[in-house]
Structure 1
Amino acid sequence: MRQIAIIGSGPAGYYTAEAALKQWGEDVHVDIFDCLPVPYGLIRTGVAPDHQSIKNVSRRYEATALSDNVRFLGNVLVGEHVSVAELTGLYDAVVLATGAPHDRKLGLEGEDLANVYGSAAFVGWYNGHPNFATLDPDLSHDTAVIVGNGNVALDVARILAKTREEFAGSDIVTHALEVLDTSKLERIVILGRRGPHQIAMTPKELGELGKLDRATPVVEAADLPPEAEDDALDPGQRKSVNHLRTYAGLPDDERAGKPLRIEFDFFASPRAIEGDDRISGVVVERTRLENGRAVGTGETYTIPAGLLVACIGYQTSPIEGVPYDEAGGRFANEEGRIGGGLYCVGWARRGPSGTIGTNRPDGFSVIEMIAGDIGEGGGKRGADGFDALASERDLSVVEFHDWKRIEEAETGRAREDSPREKFVHVDHMIAAAKKG
């Protein structure tokens, strides 16, 4: 019996567990650890709450979780409750699938001012992540700035722009809805260092901005390259740029009656954040493209703003004793192999890139590598060894049947127009898990 430990219960973790079952069938046991008492990682706390169809992939992970050969072990913090060295001593292979939960820093003066957030924190706040439930952003200013030209920037802009009625069917947490209800925003500015042809926004997400009840997207026609140059783009990029061209051509009467503008400010790079205790403005430098790179022109201007959300990427949390690639913001590895029975998958392996589905082939390739490395397995104690350690340390481990109690309780306390109301405090999750 091979004994495999996977650290992280998001998409990369569950696809890796699925691959292990396909590789060895009944001859493997997989323990999936998570620091939270609830599974699914970014499916729960990263995917936008109004994108419920994307969250349905968790049903596939549940099928894996319910296998007799797979256990979910939540509320176990690797590096604190148990070390990586202890796990590699217990299991034939340990796979780090911890994702990239920390924001990349802008590296700007004023970044530590109040009401300046990274997207991991801000998205975690409206998605009910326990680490960010008390964020309490102030939306009393008329202007917010979002830095970044990817889908996360679009998610943040859309959430800030929607009315309460537009959240029907979503699982946005109530504390976020109540703050959004107080919003005085009239302008959301999305800063991009480069131009429309360099965006990382997909057509579906970009198209949603044109269907909001109280907000209208604004694109300056002068920022768009000649239409003939769109032919060099791939089909998805072309569709996205077509959305931008449509927004640039919106007549004034279509904008009338919508009090909130979502402005795309291309060729614009933030240089400093102004303010005393809290943000009051963002200093921006105009850029131009040179060989595809954004180069500053020296021309600067200031956007008065009361909120900034930086959506510029993420990095993996270092773990003591695990080699780390500081430049890449991920674990140092060769195609997923770290060494000494230790491996990594997903964003922890390659950095924050790709879609949810990208993690599936990643998991399968790492399991194939592990199969070659461990052969018939090393006869390690695996699950029994961890259970003995958990009992010795009096760990409050949450298993999958406990999670199902949490899920049932969240469904039962949901608003009338929501599929669930998430618990945002770990102790509340554990209380629901152990109830009965």
Structure 2
Amino acid sequence: MAKEYDVKDLGLADTGRERIQWAAQEMPVLRQIKERFERTKPLAGLKVAACLHVTTETAHLVQTLKAGGAEVRLCASNPLSTQDDVAASLVQHEGIPVFALKGEDKETYYRHLEAVLGEGVQFTLDDGCDLVTLLHQERRELLPSILGGTEETTTGVIRLRAMAAEGVLQYPVIAVNDAHTKHLFDNRYGTGQSTIDAILRATNVLLAGKIIVVAGYGWCGRGVASRARGMGAHVVVTEVDAVKALEAVMDGFPVMPMLEAAQIGDIFITVTGNIGVLRQEHFARMKDGAILCNAGHFNVEIDIPALEGAAREKRWGRPFIEQYQVEGGRSLNLLAEGRLVNLGAAEGHPSAVMDMSFANQALSVEYMLGRNGQLKAGVYPVPEVLDREIARLKLAAMGLQIDTLTPEQERYLASWQAGT
């Protein structure tokens, strides 16, 4: 290949292409955007560095950006999330430089981040803010040429807002995660289904009758709790936010501190975006055979060094399961190295929800490019007009119609004179 890349095996390319084509059936919104991009070329010549989970769905986003005229380089946003056949297909069949290997070590991960930056970049697509952080810490000479960026996930948006609050963020970034057609669907339905899917693939345990502890009741936690209850599990929620805890109670879930939940849980799922959610004091109280997994972006929610320190022995129970033998002869089972379990032990979100998430990405790139120089450094929401257009396209693709306001209703909503 003329272009540089680092993938596992180009011999996997044909299998990857077949899986990418299968995902296309569930991504009609992005397909419509791609068709328009092919005609109008709104991204002509734009140099894009993308740090995303390298999956079949991401392949369609990258193809869409390329159709719009962009030059895209792609690396993985998580060491365990890469689908190697998809990475090979993008290189072999699309000519896109991809730097991603499932199971890559930390050194390789950061080398791949450097590789997508190349000798210059104009736009970043990030999932977790690692690319943006690298640019601001080690590659600042590239910052003047960057027009903007997008961020896919909650954790990344939190980091970006912290950068903006400190006045260090040097270019505008759209928080794709916060679009209604992203977080209300991707975070809730996508994370909910894919997390349960990953636990079942990794363990083959029966969820019915199990006590599942969900740490965090944001949109992702809501989705996980709902799907776990649907499988017949008894779900307990832990929270640090009083409002979210109250929501969980009103939704019918018991709420308690993690120290209390640790004694009764069979399966623990962290989905908070914070550090040290499961710690040594919790491990010391857990049942023999407890299963621990994380559905947050970074592998910091479960204190793995503390688990390692408490272990008298460690072995692989089966693929994606590390069994830690701890005090009292108990066994604690960690899934996917404590990384994003839905991508580490399964395939991530269903294509149908990623269709909307990546439609937000594609349209946000077009929107920012059309306003080059008008947006100051900072974190911006997805424009409501784009959010609503994506919802409209999704409904149309599903063959559904909705009502429209009558002129009288529009006048009523725009007035203030009418009373009781």
Q: Same fold (TM over 0.5)?
A: no
Give the structure with the higher percent helix: 2
Higher RCO (C-alpha 8 Å, min separation 6): 1
TM-score relative to the length of structure 2: 0.29
TM-score relative to the length of structure 1: 0.29
Give the structure with the higher percent strand: 1
